[in-house]
């Protein structure tokens, strides 16, 4: 079964589909560094740097798929969420809010069996649910039955507090999609320690882009993440000032700026400032920055690899570009494990 990934970023969403046995033939984004990471980690896939606001971009994509004689089963898409996000400007006129039209324009030309769209929870309620209603209308008009559901990442084995909405549209003759039930309860959630405790501490050095494993896996999750990988990639520490290290050292495990003594860490006082992960809980939501969350044990921000683990990227997945670019790629991604869970469920509806 073949898929295309629109607004792919580095391809976390579609990597989960690849893990479930799909062939992801194309990724489309407007970030060159993310596309290089995408191509590097998706088997024989081609990245396209295109502006999907433009009909000409859709036409170029269709031409390529026809040239290669690719019959596409699924369109996967995670359109930019800044307009709907709690951390964004919530501007109803933000043109990024209408990028889902591109998904249905492409669908009208290549007629996939299914369309899977991911976004932030705000897409359901903001602007009186206008975007949600429009997605459901477009799907119905195009001959798809569409269901949506809020999915909580820890319920599906991702060691990170992350809520996302998924829309799954199926050709009406294929029935109505039923979302996979939660796989874990709160007592069973994969924790930060379960996810990253086996990685080198970097207390005495800054690591490197390629490192050897120095310990055995401590958890089932770590065994899964290390499968097929000979080395640890992208595990490079950050050089902090003495002041930052001093402030971090005073934040208790699971705490934040509210737990600091008066006068300490006053340069950052917003909600997520000086947040230290808790070893026995999933991490906070991984974002595109890297200055506000800290390792549960060591006085530093997590490395790219640590955050990638918390996003459920396996160790064989290599990120390229500057550290800033790599942080954006990790933070913007859909956890591959969530993609895989949906892909496995979807196979039951669309496989011949």
State which residues form the domain around 244.
188-332
For residue 218, give the CATH number of its domain.
3.90.120.10
Residues 267 and 318 in one domain: yes
- Same domain as 235, residue 99: no
Asked if 155 and 298 sit in the same domain, the reply is no
Total of domains in the chain = 2
Backbone angles phi, psi at 77, to 5 degrees: -155, 135
Exactly one of 10, 81, 146, 192 is catalytic; name it: 81
Indicate whether 154 and 263 sit together in one domain: no
Structure confidence at residue 86 (pLDDT): 42
DSSP-derived secondary structure for 54-108: SHHHHHHHHHHHHHTT----EEEE----TTT-TTS---TT-GGGGTHHHHHHHHH
Nearest Cα to Cα of residue 9 among 41, 40, 25, 33: 33
pLDDT at 81: 56
Return d(Cα 50, Cα 58) in angstroms, integer. Answer: 9
pLDDT one-digit tens code per residue, 304-343: 999 999 999 999 999 999 999 999 999 999 999 999 999 9
Give yes or no: residues 323 and 340 share one domain: no
Extract long-range pairs of 83-89: CB within 8 Å, 24+ residues apart. 84/119, 84/120, 84/122, 84/123, 84/126, 84/131, 85/120, 85/122, 86/120, 86/122, 87/287
The CB density around residue 79, as the number of other CB atoms within 10 Å, is 23
- Residue 141 sits in the same domain as residue 179: yes
Please name the helix (run of DSSP H) or strand (run of DSSP E) that holds residue 138, with its range, or none.
Answer: helix 122-141
Q: Quick one: how far is CA 287 from the chain centroid? A: 10
How much is the pTM? 0.93
Whether 125 and 242 map to the same domain: the answer is: no
Asked if 170 and 276 sit in the same domain, the reply is: no
Check which CATH number belongs to the domain holding 346 and give it: 3.40.50.150
Give the relative orientation of helices 32-41 and 323-332 as an angle to the nearest 10 degrees: 70
- Count CB atoms within 10 A of the CB of residue 114: 22
Establish whether 81 is a catalytic residue. Answer: yes
For the CA atoms of 32, 18, 341, 336, what is the dihedral angle to 10 degrees? -30
Q: Are residues 117 and 209 in the same domain?
A: no
| Residues in a beta bridge with 28 | 6, 48
Query: What confidence score (pLDDT) does residue 290 get?
Result: 67
Q: Is 14 found in the same domain as 160?
A: yes
Low-confidence ranges of the chain (pLDDT < 50): 83-92, 94-97
Q: Look at residues 98, 310, 306, 76 and name the one whose alpha carbon lies nearest to residue 202.
A: 306
Per-residue confidence (pLDDT) for residue 98, from 0 to 100: 60
Residues 201 and 116 in one domain: no
CB–CB of 158/323 below 8 Å? no
Residues 177, 199 share a domain: no
């Amino acid at each position: 079964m073949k898929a295309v990934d629109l607004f792919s970023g580095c391809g976390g969403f579609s990597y989960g589909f690849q893990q479930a046995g799909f062939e992801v033939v194309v990724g489309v984004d407007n970030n060159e560094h993310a596309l290089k990471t995408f191509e590097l980690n998706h088997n024989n896939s081609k990245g396209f740097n295109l502006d999907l606001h433009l009909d000409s971009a859709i036409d170029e994509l269709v031409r390529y798929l026809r040239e290669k004689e690719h019959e596409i089963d699924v369109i996967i898409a995670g359109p930019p969420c800044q307009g709907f996000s709690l951390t964004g400007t919530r501007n109803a006129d933000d043109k990024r809010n209408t990028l889902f039209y591109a998904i249905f324009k492409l669908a009208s030309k290549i007629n996939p069996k299914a369309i899977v769209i991911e976004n932030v929870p705000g897409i359901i309620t903001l602007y009186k649910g206008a975007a949600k209603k429009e997605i459901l209308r477009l799907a119905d008009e195009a001959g798809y039955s569409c269901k949506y559901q809020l999915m909580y990442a820890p319920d599906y084995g991702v060691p990170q507090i992350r809520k996302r909405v998924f829309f799954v549209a199926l050709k009406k003759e294929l029935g109505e999609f039923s979302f996979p039930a939660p796989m874990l309860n709160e007592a069973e959630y994969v924790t930060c320690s379960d996810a990253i405790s086996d990685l080198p501490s970097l207390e005495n050095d800054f690591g490197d882009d390629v490192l050897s494993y120095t310990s055995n896996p401590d958890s089932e999750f770590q065994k899964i993440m290390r499968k097929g990988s000979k080395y640890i990639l992208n595990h490079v520490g950050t050089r902090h000032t003495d002041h930052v290290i001093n402030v971090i050292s005073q934040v208790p495990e699971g705490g934040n700026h509210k737990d600091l003594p008066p006068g300490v860490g006053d340069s950052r006082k917003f909600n997520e400032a000086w947040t230290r992960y808790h070893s026995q809980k999933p991490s906070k939501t991984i974002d595109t920055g890297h200055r506000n969350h800290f390792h549960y044990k060591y006085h530093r921000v997590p490395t790219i690899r640590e955050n990638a683990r918390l996003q459920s990227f396996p160790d064989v997945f290599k990120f390229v570009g500057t550290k800033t670019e790599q942080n954006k790629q990790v933070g913007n991604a859909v956890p591959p494990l969530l993609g895989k869970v949906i892909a496995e469920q979807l196979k039951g509806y669309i496989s011949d």
